[in-house]
Amino acid sequence: MYRYFGELLSRGAGSALASGCVESALPASAALMRVRQYSEQPDDPNFFRMVEGFFDRGAAIVQDKLVEDLKSRETPEQKMKRVKGILRIIKPCNHVLSVSFPIKRDNGEWEVVEGYRAQHSQHRTPCKGGIRYSEEVSVDEVKALASLMTYKCAVVDVPFGGAKAGVKINVKNYSDNELEKITRRFTIELAKKGFIGPGIDVPAPDMSTGEREMSWI
């Protein structure tokens, strides 16, 4: 369903843009696309709310086609309920972990570091997604990026669910030794809660991380 949703959305958007008329390419029930779900929020919606809004618009475009192609003996009404239910299940982020842990700096001082890991979907496992180090990292950001990772994997049929992690630090303010401590401690916190493992959740490099941090993990 994930992959099919992505393929239909890609084809529908491409043909609509090519014709120069978006509305004419949509089924009648897709009029909901004109109503952005995040428009009820303030003029500056957060990142995850924006991702959810675009998901709602995409779901409105392909909903009728999904019902039409559903192979079952159910009535049209039952098929519509099934499709709506599946789309409702796909949308939210399944698991979000927020951790705080102490590290001892090279000068002997102690500091508390914040970190997050979001697993958007386990429809295929393991989950995959990068770990970024940035002072701008937030729960909202990792949830949004984990969601986008799910959809990207589904569209190209890569057999993984989407995830993303972030540690709220500026790497320029830490020595290599301190960064290693942070990376290893964050990994331990993920392991404690079952948020890392070859068959569960696989991390990858992202902003301010690379092969060095992966080797520490």
The answer to whether residues 180 and 209 touch, using CB atoms and an 8 Å cutoff, is no
Identity (one letter) of the amino acid at 96? Answer: V
pLDDT at 26: 44
Tokens coding 210: 């690379």
pTM: 0.74
Domains assigned to the chain: 48-91 (1.10.287.140), 95-216 (3.40.50.10860)
Q: Which residue, 113, 167, 144, is CA-closest to 48? A: 144
Could you list the pLDDT tens digit for every one of the 217 residues in the chain? 555 555 555 554 454 444 444 444 444 444 444 444 444 555 566 888 888 888 888 888 888 888 888 788 888 888 888 888 888 888 888 999 999 999 999 999 999 999 999 999 888 889 999 999 999 999 999 999 999 999 899 889 889 999 999 999 999 999 999 999 999 999 999 999 989 999 999 999 999 999 999 999 9
Between the alpha carbon of residue 42 and those of residues 46, 53, 55, 197, the distances in Å are: 9, 13, 18, 39
The answer to whether residues 119 and 163 touch, using CB atoms and an 8 Å cutoff, is yes
Between the alpha carbon of residue 74 and those of residues 38, 59, 60, 68, the distances in Å are: 33, 21, 21, 11
The answer to whether residues 217 and 187 touch, using CB atoms and an 8 Å cutoff, is yes
Just list the catalytic residues: 164
